[in-house]
Amino acid sequence: MACSRNDPRIDYHMDENTRMSDKSGTTANTVWHAHKICRHHREFLNGQRACLLWFTGLSGSGKSTIAGLVEERLHEQRKLTYLLDGDNVRKGMNGDLGFTDADRIENIRRIGEMSKLFVDAGVITLSAFISPFRSERAAVRDLMREGDFIEVFVDAPLDTCEGRDPKGLYQRARSGEIKNFTGIDSPYERPDAPEIHVVNDGSLSPREVADQVVGYLRQRQFI
């Protein structure tokens, strides 16, 4: 997004020393200058490059946990982050949406649009949603500016995820109480070429896995 004083989003400009003495606001004496604060100013202030870390994976793969640990590590380094997940999105912004195909698409669209604003705010934005379909992940990627979307595939075998089952959802899916549950009776489409692929099958601690994500950000100079 442009940020100079020529930013087309600025309707009028206002000079520091100019009073709006003329009602019309259109004479040469009342040209306005607002030095609009933009993404680049905020990134400079925060000492980071903003991006969207899009965590995808099965329920129980550890998306939220790893994302939370990445936030913690980044916070230690005085980086500003924000995590969008089912807790703060489904209960608020997307509380009006159900689980039909149309609602799923709208759910992801709104999360994408919100993420875009957070990235514009200069924030390293994390999201943790199963997002099982390539098409929905591609839709968010397409919304974002080139290089802003970082797909993080949290890869764990189904039986590991089912064994963890922190919310008891697999059990309910196996019993037929929940329909269309990803991994059971609805597919999870593995990312073809995620920017980051971490394996969270228990061979590394979640913190070690999170450090792989942080390492990527450091290597690519986001932080």
Specify the residue, 90 or 189, whose C-beta has the smaller distance to a second copy: 90
d(CA 223, CA 216): 10
**Residues in 76-135 that interact with a second copy by CB under 8 A:** 78, 80-84, 87-88, 92-93, 110, 113-114, 116-118, 120-123
Encode 144-169 in three state secondary structure: CCCCCEEEEEEECCHHHHHHHCCCCH
Instruction: Select which of 115, 131, 186, 203 is catalytic.
Output: 131
* Annotated catalytic residue 21: no
Strands (E), 5-129: 51-56, 81-85, 124-128
d(CA 52, CA 81): 10
**CA count, 13 A, side-chain hemisphere, 72:** 11
- For position 11 contacting a second copy by CB under 8 A, the verdict is yes
The answer to whether the CB of 107 falls within 8 A of the CB of 84 is: no
* Cβ count within 10 A of residue 127: 26
| Interface map 172-201 toward a second copy (x if CB under 8 A) | ----------------------------x-
- For position 142 contacting a second copy by CB under 8 A, the verdict is no
d(CA 70, CA 210): 5
Contact pick of 12, 98, 103, 185 for a second copy (by CB under 8 A): 12
Q: Is 45 annotated as contributing to ligand binding?
A: no
Q: Is 64 annotated as contributing to ligand binding?
A: yes
Residue type, position 89, single letter: V
- For position 18 contacting a second copy by CB under 8 A, the verdict is yes
Which residues of this chain interact with a second copy, rule CB under 8 A? 9-12, 14, 16-26, 32, 34-37, 41-42, 45-46, 60, 62, 64-65, 68-69, 71-72, 75, 78, 80-84, 87-88, 92-93, 110, 113-114, 116-118, 120-123, 159-160, 163-167, 200, 202, 204-207
* Residues contributing to the annotated binding site: 57-64
